[in-house]
Structure 1
């Protein structure tokens, strides 16, 4: 039988969660890149907006939870970023913006930060 300390299990769980978040962000980035190529009125854009908004909604909700272990300032900054991305996605959906590039760049930085 294997025995692990709580710290080892907690660390592995955190690493697993970060990896899942990184993968989800990577998927959203791929969709946003395809949407950027296809244009803001494409089927790819609809899918990218839907997935990106849903993903960031989940992330913001988790970050807003008082049980989230991240430092308060980091949580607040990530919430602000998430709200900005959702606002940008809505701007594209409404035809007020025609580019996904800002969302791609910011989401890529967040994804890459999770790998550290």
Structure 2
């Protein structure tokens, strides 16, 4: 048996705002979308143009409040070829929420406060 990662899912409150953030912060673009006839939800799949792994954003029409992420330390991680440029870009965006200089990593937060780890490509 062979298992392969396909996607990770997160629920988002404002799909347009999230799509804009992920494109600006991480250059992720929507590669496909699913929307049922009743328009009760939208699944937007984001890709980086290289990996087969995707990030699925789920938007629920009737959800009326920001998501409570609780105490879970869930995060998504990305490596980047130019760590310093990425750091400066995210600093300019104002989305850096935690830095661990000793480990050489930092975290950014998306509009729903999901944390994304940025680490240098090794």
TM-score (norm 2): 0.28
Higher strand fraction: Structure 1 or Structure 2? 2
TM-score (norm 1): 0.28
Q: Rg: which structure is higher?
A: 1
Higher helix fraction: Structure 1 or Structure 2? 1
